[in-house]
Amino acid sequence: MFTGIVEELGEVVGRETSADGVVLTVKGPEVVSDARHGDSISVNGVCLTVRDKDATGGVFATDVMPETLARTTIGALRVGDPVNLERAATLGTRLGGHLVQGHVDAVGTVVERVTGECQELKVSVPSRLARYLVTKGSVTVDGVSLTVTAVGENAGQGWFSVSLIPTTLRVTTLGSRGVGDHVNLE
Protein backbone atom coordinates (compact mmCIF):
# COMPACT_ATOMS: atom_id res chain seq x y z
CA MET A 1 0.00 0.00 0.00
CA PHE A 2 1.04 3.55 -0.74
CA THR A 3 -0.36 7.04 -0.06
CA GLY A 4 0.13 8.70 -3.45
CA ILE A 5 2.43 11.31 -1.93
CA VAL A 6 5.54 11.18 -4.11
CA GLU A 7 8.70 11.15 -2.02
CA GLU A 8 11.21 11.68 -4.77
CA LEU A 9 11.57 12.35 -8.46
CA GLY A 10 13.87 9.55 -9.64
CA GLU A 11 15.43 8.66 -12.97
CA VAL A 12 15.56 5.50 -15.05
CA VAL A 13 19.28 4.69 -15.35
CA GLY A 14 19.10 1.20 -16.85
CA ARG A 15 16.79 -1.00 -18.86
CA GLU A 16 17.62 -4.56 -19.91
CA THR A 17 15.34 -6.99 -21.69
CA SER A 18 15.36 -10.37 -19.99
CA ALA A 19 13.76 -13.69 -20.83
CA ASP A 20 10.94 -12.84 -18.42
CA GLY A 21 10.37 -9.16 -19.23
CA VAL A 22 12.51 -6.16 -18.37
CA VAL A 23 14.97 -5.37 -15.59
CA LEU A 24 14.53 -1.69 -14.78
CA THR A 25 17.19 0.18 -12.80
CA VAL A 26 16.12 3.41 -11.13
CA LYS A 27 18.08 6.09 -9.32
CA GLY A 28 16.28 7.26 -6.20
CA PRO A 29 18.65 7.85 -3.28
CA GLU A 30 15.90 8.67 -0.79
CA VAL A 31 13.66 5.66 -1.48
CA VAL A 32 16.59 3.23 -1.73
CA SER A 33 18.25 4.46 1.49
CA ASP A 34 16.38 1.96 3.67
CA ALA A 35 15.07 -0.42 1.00
CA ARG A 36 15.68 -4.15 1.28
CA HIS A 37 15.45 -6.98 -1.20
CA GLY A 38 11.73 -7.72 -1.67
CA ASP A 39 10.45 -4.30 -0.58
CA SER A 40 7.83 -2.54 -2.68
CA ILE A 41 8.47 0.83 -4.31
CA SER A 42 5.90 2.66 -6.41
CA VAL A 43 7.36 3.76 -9.77
CA ASN A 44 4.90 6.08 -11.55
CA GLY A 45 2.13 4.45 -9.55
CA VAL A 46 3.15 0.85 -10.29
CA CYS A 47 4.04 -1.34 -7.32
CA LEU A 48 7.41 -2.93 -8.15
CA THR A 49 9.61 -5.19 -6.03
CA VAL A 50 13.24 -4.40 -5.23
CA ARG A 51 15.44 -7.10 -6.77
CA ASP A 52 18.84 -5.52 -6.04
CA LYS A 53 20.02 -2.24 -4.61
CA ASP A 54 23.13 -0.15 -4.34
CA ALA A 55 22.47 2.34 -1.56
CA THR A 56 25.86 3.98 -2.14
CA GLY A 57 24.91 4.73 -5.74
CA GLY A 58 21.28 5.39 -4.78
CA VAL A 59 19.90 2.87 -7.30
CA PHE A 60 17.65 -0.16 -7.22
CA ALA A 61 16.73 -2.77 -9.81
CA THR A 62 13.35 -4.39 -10.28
CA ASP A 63 11.91 -7.10 -12.51
CA VAL A 64 8.98 -5.99 -14.68
CA MET A 65 6.84 -8.80 -16.03
CA PRO A 66 5.12 -8.81 -19.45
CA GLU A 67 1.70 -8.27 -17.81
CA THR A 68 2.93 -5.05 -16.18
CA LEU A 69 4.61 -3.92 -19.39
CA ALA A 70 1.34 -4.46 -21.31
CA ARG A 71 -1.01 -2.77 -18.82
CA THR A 72 1.00 0.27 -17.68
CA THR A 73 3.27 2.96 -19.04
CA ILE A 74 6.33 1.25 -17.52
CA GLY A 75 7.04 -0.46 -20.87
CA ALA A 76 7.56 2.92 -22.53
CA LEU A 77 10.16 4.13 -20.00
CA ARG A 78 13.65 4.73 -21.35
CA VAL A 79 16.99 5.57 -19.76
CA GLY A 80 16.92 9.21 -18.67
CA ASP A 81 13.17 9.36 -18.07
CA PRO A 82 12.07 10.89 -14.75
CA VAL A 83 9.78 8.77 -12.54
CA ASN A 84 7.68 9.39 -9.43
CA LEU A 85 8.90 7.27 -6.51
CA GLU A 86 7.30 6.33 -3.20
CA ARG A 87 8.15 3.70 -0.62
CA ALA A 88 5.40 1.44 0.68
CA ALA A 89 3.44 2.82 3.61
CA THR A 90 4.04 1.53 7.13
CA LEU A 91 1.68 1.60 10.11
CA GLY A 92 3.37 4.82 11.19
CA THR A 93 3.04 6.56 7.80
CA ARG A 94 1.04 9.77 7.61
CA LEU A 95 -1.80 9.34 5.14
CA GLY A 96 -1.60 12.72 3.43
CA GLY A 97 -2.98 11.35 0.16
CA HIS A 98 -5.26 8.32 0.01
CA LEU A 99 -4.67 4.58 0.21
CA VAL A 100 -3.21 3.40 -3.08
CA GLN A 101 -2.45 -0.20 -4.05
CA GLY A 102 -0.02 0.39 -6.87
CA HIS A 103 -2.14 -1.85 -9.12
CA VAL A 104 -2.85 0.26 -12.18
CA ASP A 105 -6.46 0.09 -13.42
CA ALA A 106 -5.83 1.65 -16.82
CA VAL A 107 -3.65 3.92 -18.88
CA GLY A 108 -5.19 7.29 -19.67
CA THR A 109 -4.12 10.06 -22.03
CA VAL A 110 -3.68 13.74 -21.23
CA VAL A 111 -6.18 15.45 -23.55
CA GLU A 112 -5.91 19.02 -22.31
CA ARG A 113 -3.65 21.12 -20.11
CA VAL A 114 -4.70 24.52 -18.76
CA THR A 115 -1.69 26.51 -17.58
CA GLY A 116 -1.27 29.12 -14.89
CA GLU A 117 0.14 29.19 -11.36
CA CYS A 118 -2.05 26.19 -10.59
CA GLN A 119 -2.66 24.03 -13.61
CA GLU A 120 -5.39 21.66 -14.65
CA LEU A 121 -5.03 18.37 -16.49
CA LYS A 122 -7.88 16.73 -18.34
CA VAL A 123 -7.29 12.99 -18.79
CA SER A 124 -9.21 10.46 -20.86
CA VAL A 125 -10.27 7.31 -19.07
CA PRO A 126 -11.67 4.07 -20.51
CA SER A 127 -15.47 4.10 -20.38
CA ARG A 128 -15.52 0.98 -18.21
CA LEU A 129 -13.82 2.97 -15.43
CA ALA A 130 -15.44 6.38 -15.92
CA ARG A 131 -18.42 5.48 -13.74
CA TYR A 132 -16.12 5.12 -10.73
CA LEU A 133 -14.91 8.72 -10.91
CA VAL A 134 -16.78 11.44 -9.04
CA THR A 135 -16.12 15.11 -8.48
CA LYS A 136 -14.16 15.54 -5.23
CA GLY A 137 -13.26 11.85 -5.29
CA SER A 138 -9.71 10.53 -5.29
CA VAL A 139 -7.68 9.36 -8.26
CA THR A 140 -4.02 8.49 -8.68
CA VAL A 141 -2.24 9.70 -11.83
CA ASP A 142 1.27 8.27 -12.29
CA GLY A 143 1.30 7.50 -8.56
CA VAL A 144 0.26 11.01 -7.47
CA SER A 145 -2.79 11.24 -5.19
CA LEU A 146 -5.16 13.88 -6.58
CA THR A 147 -8.71 15.13 -6.16
CA VAL A 148 -11.04 14.93 -9.15
CA THR A 149 -12.34 18.41 -10.05
CA ALA A 150 -14.70 17.45 -12.90
CA VAL A 151 -15.88 14.39 -14.81
CA GLY A 152 -17.58 14.01 -18.14
CA GLU A 153 -17.88 12.22 -21.43
CA ASN A 154 -17.02 13.32 -24.93
CA ALA A 155 -17.84 11.22 -28.01
CA GLY A 156 -18.26 8.09 -25.89
CA GLN A 157 -14.93 8.56 -24.09
CA GLY A 158 -14.87 9.31 -20.37
CA TRP A 159 -12.61 12.01 -18.93
CA PHE A 160 -11.77 13.66 -15.65
CA SER A 161 -9.88 16.78 -14.60
CA VAL A 162 -7.49 17.40 -11.71
CA SER A 163 -5.88 20.59 -10.45
CA LEU A 164 -2.14 20.64 -9.86
CA ILE A 165 -0.66 22.92 -7.22
CA PRO A 166 2.83 24.40 -7.69
CA THR A 167 4.40 21.80 -5.36
CA THR A 168 2.97 18.92 -7.41
CA LEU A 169 4.17 20.59 -10.62
CA ARG A 170 7.67 20.96 -9.18
CA VAL A 171 8.24 17.59 -7.44
CA THR A 172 6.47 15.11 -9.75
CA THR A 173 6.45 14.18 -13.42
CA LEU A 174 3.03 15.80 -13.79
CA GLY A 175 4.74 19.17 -14.18
CA SER A 176 6.04 18.05 -17.57
CA ARG A 177 3.15 15.94 -18.86
CA GLY A 178 1.61 17.30 -22.04
CA VAL A 179 -1.29 16.61 -24.36
CA GLY A 180 -0.96 13.11 -25.80
CA ASP A 181 1.17 11.74 -22.93
CA HIS A 182 0.03 8.48 -21.40
CA VAL A 183 -0.39 8.17 -17.63
CA ASN A 184 -1.08 5.32 -15.20
CA LEU A 185 -4.45 5.54 -13.45
CA GLU A 186 -5.67 3.99 -10.21
What's the CA gap between 31 and 85, in Å, rounded?
Answer: 7
Q: How confident is the model at residue 28 (pLDDT cuts 50, 70, 90)?
A: very high
pLDDT in tens, 80-100: 999 999 999 988 888 888 899
Task: State CA 44 to chain mean position distance.
Answer: 2
Identify the burial level of 111 via C-beta atoms within 10 angstroms of its C-beta, where 0-12 means exposed, 13-18 middle and 19 or more buried.
middle
Residue 44 identity (one-letter amino acid): N
For residue 155, the model assigns a pLDDT of: 77
pTM, 2 dp? 0.95
Instruction: Give percent above pLDDT 90 in the chain.
Output: 85
DSSP secondary structure letter of residue 161? E
Other beta carbons within 10 angstroms of residue 92's beta carbon come to: 5
Give the pLDDT mean for 107-120. 91
